Structure 1
Amino acid sequence: MRFRLLSSLALLSLASFAHADTVWLKNGDRLTGTIKLLDSKKLLLQTEYGGNIPLSWDKIKTLQRDKPVIVQRGKYEPDFPVESLKPADDGQVVVTTTDGQQTVPLASITQIVPPRPFLRDFAWKGNIDAGLDYISSSEDSQKYDIDFKTQARHGMWRHNANGSYDRYKANDTVSTNKYDLQYALDRFFDEKFFWQGRAEYKRDWIQALAKQRTLGTGPGYQFWDNELGAFSLTGLLNHNRYQYADGGSDQFLSASMKWDYNRYLYGQTIQFFTTGELGRPLDNTANFTFDGDVGLRYKVTNWASLNLKASKELTSGAEGNVNQTEYTAGVGVSW
């Protein structure tokens, strides 16, 4: 009985090892795990014992992966699908494609990205960023900036939710106090095209434009979504309702373009991101609206990060014009 148990454990270990990716280093070490990506001359290896480990590409002797990847040879060359990567001599790897096998130098490979299946089980990711400042001096000040963004994907559906809360107080005077909540549902038709329906609510206790309600729908295009990042554009036809601090209100239709872009650099150590929306009312309620963020995240651990962000909200030509710019530094968590 004990022998059978030990044999089963050994077989499970061998099976697990057989499916793991392997990286041989020039110093003689061998690492096993899952290759997440190669970018900016950094190979990111996900391991059970050390989390995500970035490896310098020029320190790698050879490697092995039995699952498909997307490979790019040369910064401006098109990428191509690869069925497997097999170990070869020092500084080389055997690339297997539908056309056969070819031994290529590692130095000629600039990018490796595992493909993500279009139809997959439930997947959830997101982040929360917070910037909190309190200064006690002759002029006391408090600043709170909290943002969250989350996305859940299952089959042909994708749920998107994000929100923010901003408050700034100095010398007992509150100059910023607002929040924003948004939910959007995407229905994909294939890997790229989707249709979105969204609802958004904004509340501001300081500006003349006190409340904004938006319902919109329209087509979208997902340019990419992989370990390097994601980029999508969405065009929307919206019904907007503005309520002002003096009790007045406006209702109108508008057209807008949303973007959502993020890109990892240096083996997922740094993330550049920008999201936002540019809109134009279909009547004379306002000239245009703009709401966008741009920033950087520096990953301290697999889940913790430091971030810098600039935000701009602009409503031009409306009864209650809005023109606010904010800069925030803080910490965040991601999953």
Structure 2
Amino acid sequence: MLRSTSLSLLGLSLAALSSTAVADTVWLTNGDRLTGTIRFFDGSKLLLETDYGGSIPLSWSKVATLESDHELLVKLGPVNGERAKALLAAEPGKVTLANGDVPTTVELTQIEQIMKPKPLVEDFTWKGNIDVGLDYKRGERDSDDYDVDVKTQARHGLWRHNAQADYNRELKDDVVSTDNWSAEYALDRFLTEQWFWQGRFEYKRDRIEEVERQRTLGTGPGYQFWDNELGAFSIATLANRSDYRYSNGEQDRFYAMSVKWDYNRYLIGKTVELFSVGELGKPLEGVADYTLDAEVGLRYKVTDWASLNMKAEKDVVSGAEGDLDETRYTLGFGVGW
């Protein structure tokens, strides 16, 4: 009986020591110490996942040093990175990278990213979401419609791939009143940590409205204000060539300038996400006064991958032969990664 009790106590002690050993630790400049799991660092915030406070974003300037028993990729620039088997605490303002050879101590100010390395491409990141919803629309006629939106983004080194697509079908008294879809692909090449050059292609197809087809090719510079685990914000100014085809068979081709934005921000420990994407364009010829395609919304995470969302979308083509002005309000659910 005594031996069984001793073995049980030994097992509990080893489990406690094991759980302590695998916990990451962050020391702050004010003397506080936090334990958890280091998820990501990019820019100014270090994201620490804890079992007592959820995801906690820590200002990098307030971090004195840190340690981790997990293998992490530590990038000291936009391309070059070191795969560290562990992080060891050092004097304030520094951290030691243990990579199996000679440990390297670096200044915290030198580190640009910390992430979990991927199996094949170490600094590859991929994120996205799929939203399905029921649109609630109020205009000349009240109606409901089905809406599916897909958005994804992949980043490796100096290259970033952006893709999105959506489909919208609306019925009124069993009569199809809206039936359209669109797809877009954009490729970003980063010139510096924040400046990038973008090239994109977009196609829209509408079986109901007068503007039946839209094709747009564009290119231009962009600026990334931030992109980390707490959100991202970028804008791009593009020179575009657009081709419009109307339901009566007529066509328009014109050049335009546009400003695109892509914004999202996580709030309340990454439980709530505020997001907005869109594009405002001005034709260089008199084909249309301006065009606007924008959306803004909130996404509430129910689990790590499932969410509820609500958003408002605005589509405007003003001054063209086939004027368009639609507003849609959506409530739905989605999955994210």
- Determine if contact 1:177/1:206 at 8 Å carries over to the other structure: yes
The 1:270–1:286 alpha-carbon spacing in structure 2 relative to 1, beyond 3 Å, is: same
Name the TM-score, length of structure 2 as normaliser: 0.70
2:214 corresponding residue in structure 1: 212
Q: Which residue is equivalent to 1:275? A: 277
Q: Where does 1:83-98 land on structure 2 (aligned, <5 Å)?
A: 83-84=64-65, 96-97=92-93
Q: 1:33 aligns with which of 9, 15, 37?
A: 37
Tell me what 2:224 maps to.
Answer: 222
Q: TM-score, normalised by structure 1?
A: 0.70
CA distance 1:160–1:96, shift in 2 (3 Å): same
Across the aligned residues of Structure 1 and Structure 2, the Cα RMSD in angstroms comes to 3.3
Name 2:54's counterpart in structure 1. Answer: 54
Matching of residues 164-313 of structure 1 within 5 Å: 164-313=166-315
CA contact (8 A) 1:85 1:96 kept: no
Letter paired with 2:113: R
- Contact residue 44 and residue 53 of structure 1 kept, 8 A: no
Taking only the aligned residue pairs, the percentage that are identical comes to 51
Q: Deviations over 1:86-109 (max 9, x none)?
A: 9xxxxxxx99337xxxxxxxxxxx
- 1:105-149 CA distance string (max 9 Å, x none): xxxxxxxxx953699621111000001489xxxxxx762100010
Contact 1:290–1:313 (CA under 8 A) maintained in structure 2: yes
Cα distance in structure 1, aligned partners of 2:55 and 2:186: 38
Deviation at 1:173, TM superposition (A): 1.5
Match of 1:116 in 2: 113
SS in 2 for 1:96: coil
Structure 2, unaligned stretches of length 5 or more? Answer: 1-13, 28-33, 68-89, 95-110, 116-120, 137-142
CA distance in 2, matches of 1:133, 1:239: 31
Q: Structure 1 pair 177/32, CA: closer, same or farther in 2 (3 Å)?
A: same
Q: Is the 8 A contact 2:24 2:35 kept in 1?
A: no
CA shift, 1:34, in A, is: 2.4
Q: 1:330 to 1:239 in 2, by over 3 A?
A: same
Aligned-partner SS, 1:175: strand
Quote the offset at 1:84 in angstroms: 1.2
Residue identity in the other structure for 1:319:
E
Aligned length: 264
Aligned to 1:62: none
Is the 1:162–1:182 Cα contact (8 Å) retained in structure 2?
yes
